[in-house]
Structure 1
């Protein structure tokens, strides 16, 4: 197969080919760009391997294109990155690698293009296209990567045990590519993952999480998680999720398998949002069901308080996975804590008070919460699901009507702590907090409007009942 016409459409390849000839080195496009070119997938990352000094070739390409200020050199890795328009072009010299068992850091030596292809993780990533004058555009595919793309197959170029022992992160990458591309993993490759799963423990959590997030963001993330589960990798990197799996039955009463339910919720969310953190909320929404599981003879299995415990577990899980402990974590934590609230409203006569509280607590994250809650409605009984969704539509309509009327999203009472302290001559104290709480509850219950005159009068009356005297009248 020859890609000459395709390469001519992008001036970068002519530039690199011309510079490599001037330098007297062979150069090839290799890896993911070639795979995506064959699969007609968009890609903005180009990997160039040359037989020689990759950094020196990058410097000369930068000089030829007058982009000396757009090159980044990583001497420790023997690579250079050059930004050319919207393209990120990485240059490296062809290498052969060997590994020591207790480390992912390879011993690197200069090699041929064949050596470089041998060290690649999968056949679909080991294809190269020549940029050399004698065979410009030719596909070099020693491991039948093209055939594996046609068969939708993930397979290692060398013996899988060697590939995974050298770099155990490749086990995660195999599952990530399968999940992203909708490919199968070859039986011997998957068997090697199951046999060598403990090797993942020498990989840093940052690298594991990077691959895990890509699985979470794939079109049908449940597929990747099922592969992680059946390979045994999930029990090592995320035992809390594995604990969700299984059904226990007592006196003829069983509960649903919360692992597969979670995967269904995750897939449901993925149909409506590409937000990584909303997908993490789907993963964690029932994470505390195993420790809260109880059996009651009258009602069967219960998981009381799993939403609150799950919210408490969220920061610890984020810390372990090296995920950000900022507003992203707080968003996930909030959705885990609130995920039952809208569903509970479906089951009862909806009061404005209950809706106000949900609006107040969800704030700007209401849309994400509603996507999660809709996704959480899973059942094999389609009529039951349809009925719940229709009721949920009513809840959403009422929420939007109330929001329009009361403007409660992220609302703050018009009476602040400063106003309370100034009115009654107080310093920061329990009394100030008590008055703020009573005032907030009165607004949420609809007893008073969140307007200054009405709320101020209510505050003064509340203070009087607590034995406080007005020291200063405040006007607005």
Structure 2
């Protein structure tokens, strides 16, 4: 603790004084202590800090809040925990406890315990490290499982038998992989085997808890490391078999296709190197998700995956719903990128029409830059010459996009003439005819027949309205 920032030292002294005054013992435990030894604390900035007390966590929290002069206390009496928020710090208090579990639930039966009891219930040795904040041994490190040694070895290990640890709370298996991915740690062999044996137990965990851990893997510096562990331990197949199904290589007539799981994870890593956009990373995860369903062997073309972009886009909402991901604009953004991820490569021809570029900009909207980022990430060849050629091709596509966009302003395009104006000019009531006329104007702009401006659109509307009105009138007469 000697190298702690003064703001932390001052806070810890206040906690020590407050809890000593109510005759309880208190310890900092878990992530804060771990990150101190990993040199991951960011100066004196606010941090979530877990504290365990031998006694009532709620009483300790109330005493600390009073000492700090704050009333910002949230109490969870059912769990015997409390949270104090002060100057950006979030202090989580819990009374030291023993836990026992039923086989079909991760909710434990709890009874009061000692610091040692509390450390035994921790998920990993590196999270069982604690500092005393008590006057008689202030600053002492309690490390009953050599967590400090595991930190130095960059190793994740359970403090007790891994089968017991993971059976008690199967979410800990995902936490192991998340920590390994975030911290670039290895999982100790016996602990890893425990995950493999208990993978089926993840089924008792809610999808909300699973996706929270999974998204932390997705957002790690090199997410493929976490996904490889998920796949190899069998966890991925339990809750996301669609991704597992990408694994494997088939051969026919001496021709093989690439392993689409490892390709997908390479694309994910490539995106992670250039963007921290969670949903762009999800687009990378799902861009080839329909390849197993569309895989065919053609004696002339070899292995093909025709239509995997369109089918993959159709699969996105179902996968989002099943995993507990948001069913809103974020899902639609991912669906759009999956649907369009093959389109830019079709625009590399020098003589590609402005209309084709215009349509891509129109369909991608504000996601056009992210789409190009995904397309560049999708280049995973081991042939440097091929990579250079593909990147050069995409440079050309981006140049064409910039030229057409500057001229036609198609990004996030909105019709220059709306439905109300069409009804007024054509003197027609609401109905499907309005949509047909709007689509005609839209097509004229996309094809380059008229400029993308209001005056040209109105002029075009006047030129086509009689045709539509005559057709509408003849339909009414027949009916």
> TM-score band, normalised by the shorter chain?
over 0.9
1:445 Cα offset (Å): 1.2
Of residues 181, 184, 192, the one that matches 1:182 is 184
Q: Which residue of 2 aligns with 1:61?
A: 64
- Take 1:390 and 1:133, find their aligned partners in 2: how far apart are those partners? 66
- Greater displacement, 348-357 / 18-27: 348-357
**CA-to-partner distance for each residue in 1:23-72, whole Å, 9 max, x for gaps?**
1111100001100011111361101111000100100111111102x111
Q: Which residue of 1 aligns with 2:297?
A: 295
Say which SS state the counterpart of residue 40 (structure 1) adopts. coil
Structure 1 position 91 matched with structure 2 position 93 = yes
Structure 1 position 163 matched with structure 2 position 165 = yes
1:429 Cα offset (Å): 2.9
- Where does 1:39-438 land on structure 2 (aligned, <5 Å)? 39-42=38-41, 44-68=47-71, 70-346=72-348, 349-438=351-440
Say which SS state the counterpart of residue 133 (structure 1) adopts. coil
Distance 1:353 1:335, change over 3 A: same
Q: Which residue of 2 aligns with 1:473?
A: none
Say which SS state the counterpart of residue 378 (structure 1) adopts. coil
Q: Which residue of 1 aligns with 2:454?
A: 452
- Take 1:94 and 1:141, find their aligned partners in 2: how far apart are those partners? 16
1:255 Cα offset (Å): 1.3
1:328 Cα offset (Å): 0.8
- The gaps in structure 2 that reach 5 residues or longer are 473-479
1:454 Cα offset (Å): 2.2
Say which SS state the counterpart of residue 28 (structure 1) adopts. strand
- Take 1:353 and 1:141, find their aligned partners in 2: how far apart are those partners? 67
Say which SS state the counterpart of residue 244 (structure 1) adopts. coil
- Take 1:34 and 1:51, find their aligned partners in 2: how far apart are those partners? 18
Q: Which residue of 2 aligns with 1:22?
A: 21
- Take 1:300 and 1:136, find their aligned partners in 2: how far apart are those partners? 70
- Take 2:108 and 2:328, find their aligned partners in 1: how far apart are those partners? 35
Q: Is the 8 A contact 2:28 2:49 kept in 1?
A: yes
- The gaps in structure 1 that reach 5 residues or longer are 471-476
Q: Is the 8 A contact 2:361 2:368 kept in 1?
A: yes
**CA-to-partner distance for each residue in 1:304-363, whole Å, 9 max, x for gaps?**
111111111111111111111111111111111111111221256332111111111111
1:9 Cα offset (Å): 4.5
Q: Which residue of 1 aligns with 2:31?
A: 32
Q: Is the 8 A contact 2:409 2:452 kept in 1?
A: no
**CA-to-partner distance for each residue in 1:353-412, whole Å, 9 max, x for gaps?**
111111111111112111111111110111101111011112112212221222111112
Q: Is the 8 A contact 1:217 1:274 kept in 2?
A: yes
- Take 2:6 and 2:437, find their aligned partners in 1: how far apart are those partners? 73
Q: Is the 8 A contact 1:4 1:138 kept in 2?
A: no
- Take 2:147 and 2:378, find their aligned partners in 1: how far apart are those partners? 40
- Take 1:301 and 1:27, find their aligned partners in 2: how far apart are those partners? 63
- Take 2:134 and 2:471, find their aligned partners in 1: how far apart are those partners? 90
Q: Is the 8 A contact 1:4 1:136 kept in 2?
A: no
Say which SS state the counterpart of residue 102 (structure 2) adopts. coil
- Take 1:40 and 1:80, find their aligned partners in 2: how far apart are those partners? 28
- Greater displacement, 261-270 / 340-349: 340-349
1:267 Cα offset (Å): 0.2
1:467 Cα offset (Å): 5.0
Distance 1:5 1:247, change over 3 A: closer
Q: What count of residue pairs does the alignment treat as equivalent? A: 468
